[in-house]
Structure 1
Amino acid sequence: MAEANNIGPRRVSNAKDFGRVAVLMGGTSSEREVSLDSGSNCLEALKRQGVDAYKVDGIAALVDELVNKRCQRVFNILHGHAGGGEDGILQGLLDAFGIPYTGSDVLGSALSMDKIRTKQVWLSLGLPTPRYARLSRNSDVATAARDLGLPVIVKPACEGSSVGVTRVFKEADLKQAVDLAARYQGEMLMEQLVVGDELTVAVLGDTALPSIRIVPAGEYYDYHAKYKAEDTQYICPGLQGAAEDEIRALALEAFRTAGCSGWGRVDVMRDRASGKFYLLEVNTAPGMTSHSLVPKSAKQFGIEFDELVWRVLETSVPHAGQGAPRS
């Protein structure tokens, strides 16, 4: 049963007020295919509601649009790092051109894309996140694993969609895990594996939407379970009562303290033995595919997909009293 929608009325009532909207998708990151799928869904939702929206594939193509003044606003659904739209580079470009855009600004995007630095901020504020070690290609990974205690997770510090992630239960498997993570740009991260429930909380504006508990058919919620499998279970809300209130409040605080705004998704683990929550990461341009989590949570909250996409586009419009859009 859906929750009562208390997100408030639309702040933009006329589609023409958005101007011409470039829906930015695709790009060259490891998450290109997911971004194209997400972007196509968002583009069609905007068109159904009368928004003058069109597809732009990648930042290079967007630069041409900006130089030639063919768009007035950008709906960013470009996922990932290194050619993606979540690391602050795109946001800086749009700020320089004075073009409003959806989602977090330069600081929130850049910080949350880097899992290590996000954890450093959270830990400095006393927010719970698994213990970790920074890795380079030359690190003594065996010593790092012993210090943290097996099992651990090894992953790139600046990728999403479970790209390059390995769960390591034996020291002999560390080298293979590091070799996989090292295929991607940036530092690597080793963190304690939390055994328990995997949950996620979508944030829309100033509201944390109902949590989702993810139950994959296989052992882990990997790339296949996220985007391909039809037998992954999504239980929404993922928790009840005080625990649900706690995870939503924690997710909203984690989102804000990472400098994020507009919309996004916070991934959380709940330790099975203690019931304690551990923050994993923030996604500032989450997937909007048929398998994606933000639309599922929004629907539970009473927000259908087309309305969700409209509300995301509204994050590019300043609230009353905020002044002009970012520029």
Structure 2
Amino acid sequence: TTDIVQLGVAMIIIGICCLGNAFIILVFLLEYRRSQTLQPYELIVTLMAVSNIGTELDFVVWFVVYLLHFCTYIGETGYKVTHFFTLFLPKTVIWLTAWLCFVYCVKIVKVNWRIFMRLKMRLSLAVKCMIIGTLLLCLLLSFPVVFFLKLKMNSTTICRDYYTDEEKKELSFIYTSLLSFFTSFSPLVLMLVSSLGIVIFLCLHSRNMDTNVTPSGTSHSDAHTSVAIMLLCLIALFVGCAGIALSVNLQIASGQFDVEIVIALSNIIYSSGSPLILLIGMVKLRKSFTKL
């Protein structure tokens, strides 16, 4: 009964996530059709939405297999493939969120640093490099998980009785720690630095913005403030979900696999919460949703 309830809750969250992300993709596809180009931050948000939908579809399979004990039907290889994508896609979304914060920081903050000015001039190229680098990093960090998972095929609960070889337990702990550092802690630092940079810049220049009492200046200031609030909300959501994921990752590394359902739920909550925040925080998405 508990498994059925968990499956039902997960499917409801996944349904909400797919609707929100599909709307984001549709808006920016129409924008690309009109202008034949997307702004760097729009490209990142579009890829976030695509990755979120991929995450949710993968978790549909994972929840059904895990909660209804279908591992005997898909086999160890199928389970490893599913598990790989439950790592790769959410970690990609996290890094894309961090790059979104960074891109907004580059666009909003005005400093006379040479490297900052060059980056602002070549932001589109930089974003493409960020995306490629993110995909390669997440692929490299997610793939080793297939070497640590083994199923106890003679068990009555095969999906929950996978384990790590004794000789690989130390390697598994090191791998999990590296995974947490490069896909949770590092993007969090980038998010915080970028968002705090925006907030500090807006605070320091608020008097100048208030002095220029033109309508365009006021709307510009409001747009920047809205972006800052949106990014802080994304960070708060990420901290909540990543905190759960970090503690559960450490327990999984020590062999407590029965708590893995928690990290799966935290991943789908982040995937469903982030598009809602983006819909509210981004002017273009908010206006499109209002028209709809």
TM-score category, normalised to shorter length: under 0.3
Name the structure where strand makes up a greater proportion of residues: 1
TM-score by length of 2: 0.28
Q: Which has the higher contact order (CA 8 A, sep 6+)?
A: 2
TM-score by length of 1: 0.26
